[in-house]
A and B are shown apart, each in its own frame.
Chain A
Amino acid sequence: MITPAALKPTLSLALQLARRDLRNRYLGSFSGGAWALLQPLVQLAVYAFVFGYVFRQRLPGADAPGYVPFLVVAMWPWTAFAEALSRATTAIQDNASLLGKVALPRAALVLAPVLASFAIHGVGFIGLLLVMLVIGTGISPAGLLLMLPALALLFLFALGLALLLAALQVFVRDIAPALPQMLMLWMFLSPVFYGRYVMPEGVRSWFDFNPMTGFVEYLRFALLDMPMPGLRAVFCSVLAVALALAAGVFAFRRLQRHFEDFL
């Protein structure tokens, strides 16, 4: 992660940590791994009921897909992203005792929860898409391949931010408690539950500057044949990924030597 030579041990350690995390996350629960799939499904049902039925979220256009597929393609990647961030932010702090006893590539501790979150929700996402494909909800099969670059970029986006936040959290402990609120705000500011066309004309173009817009709209374009996001939105997303990675790697590199002093 940090230097090319250290990449391999970092990666293999992160994989091991992620595997253990996944295996143990649901170890004590009655239903085991089923929770991993059940929980987002329940969440989806709640959102579909609240927004699709109670608030009657409408999608304009005759060829518009149903609300559930519309929600699924945006919400699953968002959940992976948000969970990766919230778990990774405290990764260094939580492993303080390990860091004090064993010399290890520290970035692996951050990489692991990001990997685990994307793995578990990625599997759930693909499973759900396949189910929707089989029952004929208008998922385009080619979209399953088209969406992969977006998911890869989203992973890098999460990793960059995670490295930055985890490093800052060691010094300033305010980040972890503030994060859930920030993520909630970000989710509602992004077109996850709605399309930007429900917004007043004047603010629609502002959505381009939210990096999440590009991701969400691209996924809907790939999987649901909805309109392609504008060039500016895509550019903002890609730029945000690059900036997040650069800032994350820079801050982590600068600060990681001093983690032990501040933990």
Chain B
Amino acid sequence: MSAPLVQATGLGKSYPRVFRRSDRLRALLALLAGKTSGESTSVLSGIELEVQRGQSLGLIGDNGAGKSTLLKLLTGVLTPSQGQVRVNGRIGALLELGAGFHPEYSGRDNIAMAAALQGFSAEELAARQDEIVAFADIGHYIDEPVKHYSSGMVVRLGFAIIAATRPDLLITDEVLAVGDESFQKKCIRWMEDYLAGGGTLILVSHSMYHIQKLCRQALWLRQGRMQAQGDVFEVTQAYLAYHERKSADTQGTARDLDTLRGQEFHVRAVRVNGEEAETLPALEQGAALRIEATIASRDGRVPVVNVGIVRADGTPVYGVSSDMDGVQPAPLADGDYRIVLHFGELPLLPGSYTVRVHPLDSEGMRLFDTVERSLTVKGRSSESGLVRLAHVWEHAAPLSRIRGE
């Protein structure tokens, strides 16, 4: 394998502690003498990272975990305090909003400036200016000062410029969160094309959906250290599980069992594939899914059970109630009711999903309780969407070219 595009060894960053006025002077003298600047606060340490050409890496972690600092170290905006970074290629980075735009100058002027910062000549810029303006798609605002832009427009322009530079390595930091739906889609489509064309991506996002969609690898940073690194589904799942534990710790149990017991129905237990844990082991694409719901009934009436599957970002995938299919839960000896829903071959595409179980009253009108289980589907499929629909190609010849041409 050729030399990695990005390689970081023992990488760390610490900021000097500057409280009193004299600290700055002391730091200055120490640095001039070639020493370190004295006391410091470590924000990132012990990062070992290797990204090969064509890979895509998602960086995840809580606020303040060091994600942006790591990106800044990789792009060279910050110089490492320990260890080193090597990048064998041209980086296009979109760090934070604005990417260094000057608020007083128009969008066009800022394009010219950004091009100069990327080391582009005037001719290269002229050739790409129209492309950038078209991609940003902000209308007449392109000739107005950037200070009049909305934050979404700033991101549009920033991304358009980076997209036009076609870097070897694209680094973006929470950029997608600001753009509107159609621009997000445009960016994701562009990044997918870029990845298909052999581009390399390092993406920071709090949206596990975006991370899973665009990245094959993930790195989870926690308090400035590497918590986990590897396959995107395993790492994001571990991260989500950590968050669930964290919110369970801080809020107590989300379901208030005492109140629920007073209601007509509540969920006694949910087992998914025989497991009672809130987060299940990752499922292979096309594996079977078996959801067993045990419902307590206060008055002995028969509940209707509704099971829904939503994607991690909240998009509904499928929902079904027992009464729709003309069945009802069967009673157990202790007065509870139980029903099992079985999906033989789960058609979900790789990603994170949530399974929800609700008991409804016998008429299927009132909803009483909600129990969620998170579910990750693993796989290498590059199909898009939520589920695989049964399909057959007709009038088709065998593939002779490589995909992505």
Contacts and interface: CB of A to CB of B under 8 A. Distances in A.
B89 interface: no
Nearest to A173: B24
Interface in A78-114: 97-104
A261 B100 contact: no
B167 to A, nearest CB: 12
B344 interface: no
A172 B24 contact: yes
Contacts of A20: 105, 109, 112-113
Interface string A123-149: 000000000000000000000000000
A13 B117 CA distance: 6
Nearest to A171: B28
B25 interface: yes
Contacts of A262: 16, 18, 24, 27
Nearest to B79: A257
Q: How large is the interface on A (under 10, 10 to 19, 20 to 34, 35 or more residues)?
A: 20 to 34
Interface centre among B15, B77, B95, B109 (most CB of A within 10 A): B77
Interface string B250-293: 00000000000000000000000000000000000000000000
A258 B37 contact: yes
A261 B113 contact: no
A145 B24 CA distance: 46
A131 to B, nearest CB: 33
Contacts of B77: 99-103, 260
A254 B112 contact: no
A251 B32 contact: yes
B34 interface: yes
B28 A101 contact: no
**Chain B interface category by residue count:** 20 to 34
A16 B95 contact: no
Nearest to B18: A262
Contacts of A17: 113, 116
Interface in A1-54: 9, 12-13, 16-17, 20, 24
Nearest to A255: B31
Contact of B79 (A100, A168, A260): A260
A172 B28 CA distance: 8
A172 B26 CA distance: 10
A102 B28 contact: no
17 contacts: A12-B116, A16-B113, A16-B116, A20-B113, A100-B77, A103-B93, A171-B25, A172-B25, A255-B32, A258-B16, A258-B31, A260-B77, A260-B78, A260-B79, A261-B37, A262-B18, A262-B24
Given A17-B116, A20-B112, A98-B100, 13 more contacts: A9-B119, A12-B116, A13-B119, A20-B113, A100-B72, A101-B100, A103-B91, A103-B93, A171-B27, A254-B31, A255-B28, A257-B79, A262-B18
